[in-house]
Structure 1
């Protein structure tokens, strides 16, 4: 009942901020219009991309509204969300990347998506399901699971970070608000599934978790955090695992929330220090590998004509250093080689590679 009341409160808050936005002026200034028009004129790809979504001025105004609403909701949530006091802990933490760009060896398949198997004392959790870009059966995820000796029956819990194709098993599943291991939806054993938005799966009853939610002893989601990019509002949740005598390890899918908000939310939820941050944090500094030209237009907190800079990445590293975090891993599925190189420089002792099949283990 308490969670229901909190959820209702959040829904009322969302409605309030959305309604409040109607009473504010989000008209563009002349400087904003001129800057946007100059950027569009000088960038053919940007012009084409904006044309797919609508009139640039309307898109810009909608973005300003979304930004105001999500900032207001964030500030409200940070004041109202309470600590998870009965989280418990696990003596052992293990993360095995099943899908990411780089692999441990050539027998495994890499792709531009995320799927991590997380093991604790009591639970085996599948965090995201990759992208299956070629719509294969068996999918790259299934091939890697077989190669690593992992069966679907071994999984106790599924958690979806956010409803994007590279995390739910393919673009076709994103459009249907569902997910899958492969190009169809095979029967799965009964298990809890936690999603940041309403999703379905045949025979299962996924639970939408906009609020921080304990999902196993020592494991919780940190709740959905919304951040808009110019073209959409993205709601994403991360996982937090409390390792005994170490602290909280955060596992992120894409990091659309921003590392700053992820860290701040985690500090509100738990008394334990943050021990590690692992996964995707969306630093497409330059075009490389799978990080194509379109990535530079969809950086959270940036207008499409603004570019992520080295200084901004280093500033994010300082946020991690300030907390004396001892374990840092950056996914290559949404961060470029230049960004990964910066993280390796900034964290020479703390950095671990995230490669398919390469086990990350913390234990007592």
Structure 2
């Protein structure tokens, strides 16, 4: 119910259009709460892109943490699942790949063309978490990500990419490896990986999740919209890489910023400083979600005001480009 900027739509008002049947007695639509979306600790975003009057493209960026939430939300929002042509996974962590197989099975049940599944080729056998202060003893492991074989068995057309490339008819850019250039974004100190192969049988430290990728869309007259599902590389590193790649200003940042918890709290001030003061022009909107953390949201709201938008499941964002203003944009300059 929080006030949103123009172009942002809460789920409730969307349901009035999705479920327009009028109540027999009152004569108005009833918001059916059983059909509302479910939130879960993960990330998934449906991206629709269109250039002029050409056919639009639907891309699913990550699939959430479990086999139930995504397919339920697709049904709740009446998404034409058969039109989703590509699933792009940001990285191999189960809270981003958990709904992939159930989505593919749902899509396979509808008459449609095969769905591309765009993944990084370096899939670990397992990833674990070793809490501080020593960060050396694995407390637990995440459930395994879907294997390449299971993805294909579920109907996905597997494409493995470690380099940057375009999808969705050239409208969405998928990054390659994100360069680590900042001094304060040092990955996950307790990140661990189970070695599978000749040296299998032990955990090894994996501070940097190098298979992580972001997605970028260049909007005419506005700039880049960045989707960074977890920002293990650090959102500043992500933004800097996008600027080097496109030489365009950042219009909007969407996703998890991985600034939650005591391990990451020292990174909040320099992150907010860069995004709000060093980066020129600063992003118009920041949508911190998933692993961003409450303190990071407070700091971003203090710096960006209404430009820090409370976002979550069911939110719709519509961004319309304008080519006649595009020449006024310039490459950002940051310190």
For 2:93 and 2:216, the matched residues in 1 are separated by 21
Tell me the SS of whatever aligns to 1:348: helix
Tell me the SS of whatever aligns to 1:180: helix
Q: Given the superposition, is the C-alpha separation of residues 206 and 328 from structure 1 closer, same or farther in structure 2, using an over 3 Å criterion? A: same
Q: CA contact under 8 A between 2:43 and 2:96: conserved in structure 1?
A: yes
Give a deviation string over 1:172-230, Cα, whole Å, max 9, x none: xxxxxxx4236x95563413221123562123332122111011333111213377533
Q: CA deviation at 1:315?
A: 1.3
Give the 5 Å matches for 1:46-65.
none
For 2:105 and 2:177, the matched residues in 1 are separated by 25
Residue 165 of structure 1 aligns with which residue? 94
1:336 equivalent in alignment to 2:312: no
Q: CA deviation at 1:323?
A: 3.0
For 1:343 and 1:217, the matched residues in 2 are separated by 32
Q: CA contact under 8 A between 1:125 and 1:158: conserved in structure 2?
A: yes
Q: CA deviation at 1:335?
A: 2.2
Q: CA deviation at 1:347?
A: 0.9
Residue 315 of structure 1 aligns with which residue? 270
Q: CA deviation at 1:119?
A: 0.9
1:225 equivalent in alignment to 2:172: no
CA-atom RMSD in angstroms? 2.8
Residue 259 of structure 1 aligns with which residue? 235
For 2:243 and 2:179, the matched residues in 1 are separated by 18
Q: Given the superposition, is the C-alpha separation of residues 96 and 229 from structure 1 closer, same or farther in structure 2, using an over 3 Å criterion? A: farther
Give the number of equivalent residue pairs. 230
Tell me the SS of whatever aligns to 1:125: strand
For 1:109 and 1:273, the matched residues in 2 are separated by 33
Q: CA contact under 8 A between 1:117 and 1:127: conserved in structure 2?
A: yes
Q: Given the superposition, is the C-alpha separation of residues 339 and 271 from structure 1 closer, same or farther in structure 2, using an over 3 Å criterion? A: closer
For 2:115 and 2:249, the matched residues in 1 are separated by 30
1:273 equivalent in alignment to 2:249: yes
**Which runs of 5 or more residues in structure 2 are unaligned?**
1-6, 12-31, 51-55, 123-146, 181-186, 192-205, 322-335
Q: Given the superposition, is the C-alpha separation of residues 211 and 323 from structure 1 closer, same or farther in structure 2, using an over 3 Å criterion? A: farther
1:249 equivalent in alignment to 2:225: yes
> 260, 278, 282: which one pairs with 2:258?
282
For 1:166 and 1:191, the matched residues in 2 are separated by 21
Q: Given the superposition, is the C-alpha separation of residues 130 and 284 from structure 1 closer, same or farther in structure 2, using an over 3 Å criterion? A: same
Give the 5 Å matches for 1:152-191.
152-169=81-98, 179-181=100-102, 185=105, 188=108, 189-191=113-115
Residue 193 of structure 1 aligns with which residue? 117
Q: CA contact under 8 A between 1:129 and 1:181: conserved in structure 2?
A: no
> 118, 121, 125: which one pairs with 2:59?
125
Residue 206 of structure 1 aligns with which residue? 158
Q: Given the superposition, is the C-alpha separation of residues 209 and 323 from structure 1 closer, same or farther in structure 2, using an over 3 Å criterion? A: farther
TM-score of the superposed pair, with normalisation by structure 1:
0.57
